[in-house]
Amino acid sequence: MAEAFPVKPKLRPTSSKLTPTPEAKYWRSFKIPKDIETTPSKSFTFPINSIAFSPLAPHDFVATHSASVSIFSGKTLEPKPTISSFSDTAAAVSFRCDGKLLAAGDLTGTVHVFDAKSRSHLRRLKGHAAAVRSVSYPRAADKLHLFSGGDDSVVKYWDVTTEKCVFNLLGHKDYVRCGDASPISDEMFVSGSYDHRVRVWDVRVSNASSVMELNHEKPVESVLYLPSGGLIATAGGNFVKIWDVIGGGKLLYSMESHIKTVTALCMGKVARGSGEEAEENRILSVALDGYMKVFDYAKLKITHSMRFPEPLLSVGFSPDCSTRVIGTSKGNLYIGRRKAKVESEEVVGGFQWKIVEDDPGRKVLRPSYFRYFQRGQNLKPSEGDYLIKRPKKLKMAEFDKLLKKFRHREALVAALNRRNPESVVAVMEELVARKKLMKCVSNLDTEELALLLAFLQKYSTMPRYAGLLTRLANKVVELRAEDIKSSDQLRSYIRNLKRDVEEEIRIQQSLLEIQGIISPMLRIAARS
């Protein structure tokens, strides 16, 4: 027994990207909040060199650009007044572990320390002979010291209260452009330099040379201690490398999916559900190619990548997983925020189901009531009930119905009117299978022919449909030459079609040329 089959377009190859992974969904859920989208202060004219988040809630963050440091409220994302007491461009910024103080280095070689709340200038640490591009407070508990690295290739360990340099850590042979403090120890930190080396320092070892030296093989742009304190991620060139520090500086993995220089790294977290265990650490890396990549260093896999229209310079991620900030070389700040779910949960919690009981005095429904005819319609099945599913209604488009009635020309016109090229081609293929397409074409009146020609002009050079449509266009022109000649409108369609086809032929020829160039190379490559 036969059934009705609606006309279906050809299947397209599916790729896994079409269905977003939960992780991709998570990263896409960082959206620019509507209310700050329009405020101009999120965009600056100068490159945003550095971004830092306060370790304390509500996780204010700062961004350095030109000779000023902007502080944003972590709650509202509104910009607070900027600190602009720099004499040159500010290059690096870091919060103290309690979030009360803020250190920033500038290109004159001075490290400035501010009160994060009042923005009052507290200390000036002078000592670097060239620009300070790396400043970091210890991350664990030490509130008195500070590391900085400068273009004079010296890494300094400061005592902040006395504005004195405790150690000059020598060893780098080129600009020190990045550094990070260990998350578990106040005495350990790491610095990366343009001499391709990454050095791990321990201030408990007094002899002023590094504990460990890692060769990144490219000028190091960014370095990051991973939360365990045993792994280091370094970025430089167009790759990111993961090192095992405890295991003697072994290279674990090299992630090479950026196509331009990776400029910054930061830790990100994927929050799944609730609870501490549900959070998984990721490395966020941004590069000049405009991509932000999310790297899962447990599985050594890139789990998400996101494109931005400008070269990216800096990235920051709030410790509570709510905000993600990316700074670009053109001064734009992409602030993404996830919607908090806490509020909605409250709503759910406050709602209670009420059990509606029939009051015994209720009247028996009679056919004279309208409700009599609706009774039982909203009844939910109980657990033991056997559900008989209503047969699924077959959706029939208009052209399907017409095809079913063998009104072929009308079906073709109906499909053309829907302007969905896939369904039009599917209807045409069905007509070919019925050997009725030529008859349909010859029966079209002028307006419908115009519709068909417009469609052919638009899609006959598209590779997916070209196989059928170019030949059909040929046939249409052959069959309806007289009609086309007599109408100006149709002639203009044909002119456009001709132009498109000529363009396509040009493209094909140049592609053939390219193929001719490439194929000997491929052959040589295959031989070697």
Q: Which residues is 45 bridged to in the sheet?
A: none
Q: Under the criterion CB under 8 A, does residue 434 sit at the interface with other proteins?
A: yes
Q: Does 406 bind other proteins (CB under 8 A)?
A: no
> Quick one: 187 or 429, whose CB is closer to other proteins?
429
Kindly state the smallest distance separating residue 411's Cβ from other proteins, in Å: 16
| Least Cβ distance, residue 441 to other proteins (angstroms) | 10
Give 392-396's long-range contacts (Cβ < 8 A, gap of 24+). Answer: 394/4, 394/6, 395/6, 396/4, 396/6
In the stretch 102-121, what mask flags binding to other proteins with x, by CB under 8 A?
--------------------
16 near other proteins (CB under 8 A) = yes
- Min dist CB 438 to other proteins, Å, is 6
Q: How many chain residues bind other proteins (CB under 8 A)?
A: 27
Among 259, 278, 300, 433, binds other proteins (CB under 8 A): 433
Please, which of residues 217-256 interact with other proteins by CB under 8 A?
none
Cβ atoms of residues 291 and 306 within 8 Å? yes
**Neighbour-count burial for 36-59, b at 16+ CB within 10 Å, e otherwise:** beeeeebebeebbbbbbbbebeeb
Residue 10 touching other proteins (CB under 8 A): yes
Q: Which stretch binds other proteins (CB under 8 A): 225-233, 241-249, 387-395, 435-443?
A: 435-443
d(CA 453, CA 222): 57
Phi-psi region of 425 (alpha: psi -120 to 50; beta: other; left: phi over 0): alpha
CA angle 284, 290, 291 (to 5 degrees): 40
Q: Is 18 a residue that touches other proteins (CB under 8 A)? A: no
Using CA atoms, how far apart are residues 315 and 72, in angstroms rounded to an integer?
Answer: 15
187: three-class secondary structure by DSSP: coil
Binding mask 143-182 for other proteins (x = CB under 8 A): ----------------------------------------
| Adjacent-strand bridge partners of 69 | 64, 83
Q: How far is the CB of 480 from other proteins (least distance, A)?
A: 14
Query: Per CB under 8 A, does 428 bind other proteins?
Result: yes
Residue 22 as a binder of other proteins (CB under 8 A): the answer is yes
CA–CA distance, 13 with 119 (Å, rounded to integer): 57
Handedness of CA 495, 497, 501, 504 (dihedral sign): positive
Question: Quick one: which of 435, 482, 488, 524 contacts other proteins (CB under 8 A)?
Answer: 435
CB neighbours of residue 446 within 10 Å: 14
Q: Which is nearer to other proteins, 82 or 457 (CB)?
A: 457
2 touches other proteins by CB under 8 A? yes
Q: Taking the complex as a whole, how short is the minimal distance between the CB of residue 436 and other proteins, in angstroms?
A: 8
Residue type at position 183: P
* 377 interacts with other proteins by CB under 8 A: no
Contact (Cβ atoms closer than 8 angstroms) between residue 290 and residue 304: no
What is the identity of the amino acid at 93?
A: V
Element (H, E) at 143: none
Length of the chain in terms of residues written: 528
Among the listed ranges 145-153, 222-230, 336-344, 434-442, the one in contact with other proteins (CB under 8 A) is 434-442
Q: Does 11 bind other proteins (CB under 8 A)?
A: yes
The answer to the question of residue 3 lying near other proteins (CB under 8 A) is yes
Residues at the interface with other proteins (CB under 8 A):
1-5, 8, 10-11, 16, 19, 21-22, 428-429, 431-438, 467-468, 471-472, 475
